[in-house]
Amino acid sequence: MGDQTLIRYTNVIDPQFSKLIKNAPKLQSLTLNKIRGIPSSIAIASAITAYARIKMSNYINMNDCIYTDTDSLVVQNPLPDNLIGEELGQFKLEYVIKKGIFISPKVYVLKYIKNNTLMETTVCKGLGKDLTFNDFEKLLAGENVIKMKKYFVPRLDLGTVEIIEKLYTIRGVKPND
């Protein structure tokens, strides 16, 4: 176990590390020559995101739009052929969905056909893919679903990583009265 290293990122600099840098002139000189990675512009990124939202709003406001996210949408009827393709700005047809349950943003399950096989994919932000279609049916019926979630907690003082399991409750959707 002595040949393994754990690297952890945090935006808080450890005081012992700062002290080490100050006491090592060669390392200290390296900190003065800050090298930036790929050039980027927040303004350009914001403009692109805003433009994408404007373009997506045309589809979000359609009557048959079931679900949408930043770069995707689920509709009941096929889109016109000129909107689907490999060109920039066109949609890519990912699935022909047979059944789907959409609980909230980034919490859904899909059943679709791929290579003549019924496939299932689940998305549940924060929980991964541990939910089943049956779990989503329970959520849709208003029942809560409880799952076990693993957390990895680094113990730098011991040079280990603890795996902690905690119960995670996803609240069901209240049925309309």
Predicted pLDDT at 64: 86
The verdict on residue 136 lying in a domain is yes
Provide the residue range defining the domain that includes 119: 67-143
Bridging pattern class, strands 160-170 and 145-155: antiparallel
More confident residue, 92 or 6: 92
Say if residue 30's pLDDT is above 70.
Answer: no
Dihedral, CA atoms, 91, 93, 94, 99, nearest 10 degrees? 120
Q: Annotate 74-113 with b (16+ C-beta within 10 A) or e (fewer).
A: bbeeeeeeeeeeeeeeeeeeeeebeebbbbeeebbbbebe
Q: Please check whether residue 137 lies inside any domain of the structure.
A: yes
26 falls within a domain: no
- Structurally, the chain folds into a number of domains equal to 1
Express each pLDDT in 156-176 by its tens digit: 777 888 999 999 888 888 766
Give 82-124 pLDDT, tens digit per residue.
989 999 888 898 888 999 999 888 889 999 998 889 999 998 8
What confidence category does residue 177 fall into, taking pLDDT thresholds of 50, 70 and 90? very low
